[in-house]
Structure 1
Amino acid sequence: MSSPADQKQPAADGGLRIDKWLWYARVTKSRSLAQKLAIGGHVRLNKEKISSASKVVRIGDVLTITLERKILVLKVQQLGTRRGPFVEAQTLYEDLSPKPVPREEGVEGVVPQRDSGAGRPTKRERRQMDAFRKVD
């Protein structure tokens, strides 16, 4: 039977479970969410889709993670031994994610952004307009 101290150490072959690594690197808020991400097919390990949270991650591996609104491409730099602060978690990986594409004016399928102050008036502005109209 293994002790809790044994569970915190990386695997003997120099790797770490992918769900633990995602949690250590602060990609997810909890380890159970990291497991769901891996099992759900949202993680690729070296371009191959994984279906198990127990896959082993090693230094030099590249992970492609699809989240709700973005895609993360992370190269494993270190395995880590705990879930530390964000600054410590950033040392575990190199971010290779593509930069977001800037929005262009007049392109089909892109909703143009309104200028501030344009559009529906706020409650305060409506009250000011009502007060202006009621002047006798």
Structure 2
Amino acid sequence: MEKQTLRMNERGGSNVGVIIGLIVLVVVGFVCVQLIPIYYDQWTFEDEFNNEKLNLIFVNVNDDAKVKDAVVQKVKTLIGAMKNAKVSDKDIKVTVDPANKKIIVDVRYLRPHKVPFLQNPLMFHMKKENRPI
């Protein structure tokens, strides 16, 4: 009789462990579903931001306004491709130095998410500086 009671208690303990394990698994899955697309978009944005197309804009540094407009337009296009990304004109800073043939682009943008225990929205920052040849 004692063995049977002991076995029943052991079974109940394993059920609680399974339920806790499933809850942890669901929470981890939810966090991954929320954050992986955001960080994937960030990595894609970095790749596009550092590619040769943007570097070609940097070649002609003589006209400040043209360069600034082209860079801001390219950055807005790249960020616009992201879902729910928020960026304003003041968050895209383009500094042109024609004397040194140098351009510095500083971009900050926000991405909202639904994870309750993380900062919402997430802020991303990227800075690029071209190097004259």
Q: TM-score, normalised by structure 2?
A: 0.27
